[in-house]
């Protein structure tokens, strides 16, 4: 399910609009991940605070959205563009790739709450494809 | 058996009490057909589904969206026995409609996003967690009679 030119254009346009809220989206999406899919918390057992106001959660959400921003800028070759991040996730973090799909869903939910008029079904399918391709690129170096 | 906290029960009934079925049902189903186009396979007799615009304005899809959403009322009224409540519907979806159970989850995700869009930040993380737990139980019950 590769990205068409239309998908890429839609994602870039949507990103341009939501970019200013990227940090908020990241923190909120991460907190929703922990609340809705508690098993995801195992990767953060070293944090003392995983609550909604946690500085660690907010900072990490910002970092994650930085990765999404990178992906948008490398949308024409996600595998190559995310190679380093993939190696980090594969060899150091060893996050089960199943979690990428769960976080992608939470990101979509947050965008829906903040930008309901913009996440039309047409935009949703493009963004869903983009996040799926991002997740695939992030899994590239796993095995 | 699924355990529900008082808070979860309150959240779930609260969401349904405020739900505009006429709006959310059609939106959720049409979104599912657009975001996951392979789900259109079950609606061959529903007329024009050629593009997003056609799907969004298709009256038969809209009506069916409402039917499906009202189908969740059964679980709402029988939260302590969702499995048994959906036994007949599970047989229907398996034997007659031949729906791939994966598609239930995909429709559930679209419903979550439609509700998130309607409620905005009032759809908190706790509400999302409770609602998705509810949907997961329904999805599991619907898939139970497949063999």
Which residues of B make CB contacts under 8 Å with A? 30-31, 34-35, 52, 55-56, 109, 112-114, 116-121, 123, 125-126, 128-129, 132
Surface of A (37-76) touching B: CB under 8 A: 52
pLDDT of residue B53: 97
Taking only the tens place, the pLDDT of each residue in B45-91 is 999 999 999 999 999 999 999 999 999 999 999 999 999 999 999 99
What average pLDDT does the segment B108-136 reach? 98
CB-CB neighbors (< 8 A) of B55 in chain A:
121
CB-CB neighbors (< 8 A) of B126 in chain A:
35
3-class SS string, B11-26: HHHHHHHCCCHHHHHH
CB contact under 8 A, A116 and B117: yes
Taking only the tens place, the pLDDT of each residue in B3-12 is 999 999 999 9
Name the residue of chain B whose CA is nearest to A126's CA. B35
pLDDT of residue B56: 97
Q: Which of A31, A35, A112 sits opposite B117 (nearest CB)?
A: A112
- DSSP string computed for A90-113: IIII---THHHHHHHHHHHHHHHH
Burial of A112: CB neighbours in 10 Å, binned 0-12, 13-18, 19+: buried
Q: Give the closest-approach CA distance of B129 to chain A in angstroms.
A: 4
What average pLDDT does the segment B116-137 reach? 98
Kindly give, in sequence order, each residue whose CB lies less than 8 Å from that of residue A50, ignoring residues fewer than 6 positions away: A31, A34, A41, A44, A56, A57
pLDDT of residue B101: 92
pLDDT of residue A112: 98
Q: Which of B52, B56, B116 sits opposite A112 (nearest CB)?
A: B116
Mean pLDDT taken over chain B? 96
Name the residue of chain A whose CA is nearest to B109's CA. A105
- The ipTM, to two decimals, is 0.92
pLDDT of residue A95: 94
B102/B33 Cα distance (integer angstroms):
14
CB contact under 8 A, A124 and B34: yes
- According to DSSP, residue B79 is labeled T
User: pLDDT tens digits for chain A (143 residues)?
Assistant: 999 999 999 999 999 999 999 999 999 999 999 999 999 999 999 999 999 899 999 999 999 999 999 999 999 999 999 999 999 999 999 999 999 999 999 999 999 999 999 999 999 999 999 999 999 999 999 99
Q: Which two tokens stand for residue B23?
A: 């709006």
Rounded to whole angstroms, what are the CA distances from A64 to A98, A107, B20, B46? 16, 11, 35, 42
Burial A10-23 (b: 16+ CB within 10 A, else e): bbeebbeebeeebb
Burial of A89: CB neighbours in 10 Å, binned 0-12, 13-18, 19+: buried
Burial of B91: CB neighbours in 10 Å, binned 0-12, 13-18, 19+: middle
Name the residue of chain B whose CA is nearest to A28's CA. B125
Q: Give the closest-approach CA distance of B27 to chain A in angstroms.
A: 9
pLDDT of residue B1: 81
């Amino acid at each position: 399910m590769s990205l068409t030119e239309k998908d890429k254009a839609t994602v870039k346009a949507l990103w341009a609009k939501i970019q200013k809220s990227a940090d908020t989206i990241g923190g909120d999406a991460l907190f929703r991940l922990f609340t809705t899919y508690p098993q995801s918390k195992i990767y953060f057992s070293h944090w003392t605070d995983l609550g909604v106001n946690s500085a660690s959660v907010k900072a990490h959400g910002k970092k994650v959205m930085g990765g999404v921003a990178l992906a948008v800028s490398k949308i024409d070759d996600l595998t190559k563009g995310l190679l380093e991040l993939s190696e980090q996730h594969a060899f150091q973090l060893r996050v089960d790739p199943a979690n990428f799909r769960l976080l992608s869903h939470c990101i979509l939910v947050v965008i829906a709450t903040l930008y309901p008029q913009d996440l039309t079904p047409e935009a949703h399918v493009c963004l869903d494809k983009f996040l799926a391709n991002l997740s695939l690129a992030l899994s590239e170096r796993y095995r | 058996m699924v355990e529900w906290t008082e808070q979860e029960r309150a959240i779930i009934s609260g969401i349904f009490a405020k739900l505009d079925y006429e709006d959310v049902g059609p939106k959720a189903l049409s979104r599912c057909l657009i975001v996951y186009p392979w789900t259109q396979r079950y609606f061959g007799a529903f007329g024009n589904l050629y593009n997003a615009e056609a799907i969004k304005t298709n009256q038969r899809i809209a009506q069916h969206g409402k039917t499906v959403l009202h189908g969740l009322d059964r679980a709402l009224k029988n939260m302590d026995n969702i499995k048994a409540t959906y036994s007949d519907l599970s047989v229907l979806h398996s034997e007659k409609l031949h729906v791939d159970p994966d598609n239930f989850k995909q429709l559930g995700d679209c419903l979550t996003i439609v509700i998130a869009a309607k409620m905005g930040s009032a759809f908190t993380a706790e509400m999302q967690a409770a609602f998705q737990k509810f949907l997961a139980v329904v999805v599991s019950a619907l898939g139970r009679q497949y063999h």
